[in-house]
Amino acid sequence: LKAEALEKVEKAYSPSDLQDVKVAYLGKKGPITEVLRGMGKLSQEERPIIGELANTVREAITEAIETKKNTLEAIELERKLQEEAIDVTLPGRPVSVGGPHLLTKIVEEIEDLFIGMGFEIREGPEVETDYYNFEALNLPKGHPARDMQDSFYITEDLLLRTHTSPVQARTMEEYKGSRPVKMICPGKVYRRDTDDATHSHQFTQIEGLYVDKNVRMSDLKGVLNHFAKQLFGEDREIRLRPSFFPFTEPSVEMDISCKVCGGDGCSVCKGTGWIEILGGGMVHPNVLEMAGYDPKVYNGFAFGMGPERIAMLKYGVDDIRHFYTNDVRFLSQYHNA
């Protein structure tokens, strides 16, 4: 019996074969159990002899099964390792890494520049009330200058903000007319424009506001000059031209000289050699007053610029739609710019 069982163990090729052998020889209906169960019928003298014999046989078979089990497991492990082996000498598949959007980069660069001059970064809602978008900026209902910015209205009183200037009024209100304000606010704005190479119904702006005692136009010019040179290079000049915005008085538009230098010398990018990049001016007394600042004590300057324009100028992008159509071939060119 023992020899027969051991031979079967030897021949087992899988754990399930082994299990069969175990059940057949050591199981409840197996011969060993049968022998042990029949012990009662044996004489006093035979019992220990047969008992011991049965136990030795059982132990031998159990041990053989155990050993075989370990061997089978080792073989199985070996097989798996071979099957799953990785050939580290094969060339890897290239992984393409993404990067920040060109606009994000420009906005962050501009933020850093203004943080360096002591400005804080603020944000405001894109769905804005008529009050903050227009009224608080000296643009009462029916004011003709409202037409300068074609708006997306949601209700009679709610619209998608047409510029980031409402954040001027919101910030001043929050500071309750009692302390200087020095902030910039980047964000998305919306206008009812037909999209083309230079217009988009959604674009971004960065607003700037500095309110304190004795702020002068020359402070505005100094800040903008520093900003332009840091962003575009020391050889760039700025110029301010008179303009009109209802919320600033006087109002200006700022141009930057657009000499473009390359391998074969420098050329002027456009007819006049100047390109407009922002609007600004001295905060209108009505705007200060409505937001709770006494215009006899406080004054300030404000400006608003378009990061798309600036990115187009700095990186030679020829169509504003590139920023929004998400063509990776365009976007990935600037990952290391």
Binding site for ligand PHE (CB under 6 A): 163, 165, 245, 248, 279-281, 302-304
The answer for residues whose C-beta is within 8 angstroms of residue 167's C-beta and 6 or more apart is 122, 123, 124, 183, 185, 187, 207, 209
Least Å distance, CB 191 to ligand PHE, is 9
Residue 279 C-beta: closest distance to ligand PHE, Å:
4
CB-wise, 30 or 246, nearer to ligand PHE? 246
CB of 276 to ligand PHE, least distance (A): 11
Least Å distance, CB 177 to ligand PHE, is 20
Using CA atoms in the order 273, 221, 250, 126, what is the torsion angle rounded to 10 degrees?
A: 90
Q: Rank residues 138 and 248 by Cβ distance to ligand PHE and give the closer one.
A: 248
- Least distance to ligand PHE from the beta carbon of 207, Å? 6
Nearer to ligand PHE, 51 or 250 (CB): 250
How far apart (Å, rounded) are the C-alpha atoms in residues 223 and 298? 19
Q: How far is the CB of 165 from ligand PHE (least distance, A)?
A: 4
- Considering beta carbons, is residue 185 or 331 the nearer one to ligand PHE? 185
Q: Identify which of residues 30 and 304 has a Cβ nearer to ligand PHE in the complex.
A: 304
SS3 per residue for the chain = CHHHHHHHHHHCCCHHHHHHHHHHHHCCCCHHHHHHHHHHHCCCCHHHHHHHHHHHHHHHHHHHHHHHHHHHHHHHHHHHHHHCCCCCCCCCCCCCCCCCCHHHHHHHHHHHHHHHCCCEECCCCCEEEHHHHCHHHCCCCCCHHHHHCCCEECCCCEEECCCCCHHHHHHHHHCCCCCCEEEEEEEEEECCCCCCCCCCCEEEEEEEEEEECCCCHHHHHHHHHHHHHHHHCCCCCEEEEEEEECCEEEEEEEEEECEEEECCEEEECCCCCEEEEEEEEEECHHHHHHCCCCCCCCEEEEEEECHHHHHHHHHCCCCHHHHCCCCHHHHHHHCCC
Residue 276 annotated as lining a ligand binding site: no
CB of 282 to ligand PHE, least distance (A): 9
If the CB atoms of residues 32 and 209 are measured against ligand PHE, the closer one turns out to be 209
Which residue lies nearer to ligand PHE by CB, 25 or 323?
A: 323
The sheet carrying 181-190 orders its strands as: 120-121, 181-190, 202-212, 299-305, 274-283, 248-257, 238-245
Specify the residue, 102 or 162, whose C-beta has the smaller distance to ligand PHE: 162
Closest separation in Å from C-beta 247 to ligand PHE = 6
Q: Residues forming the annotated binding site for Mg(2+)?
A: 249
Residues making up the annotated binding site are 249
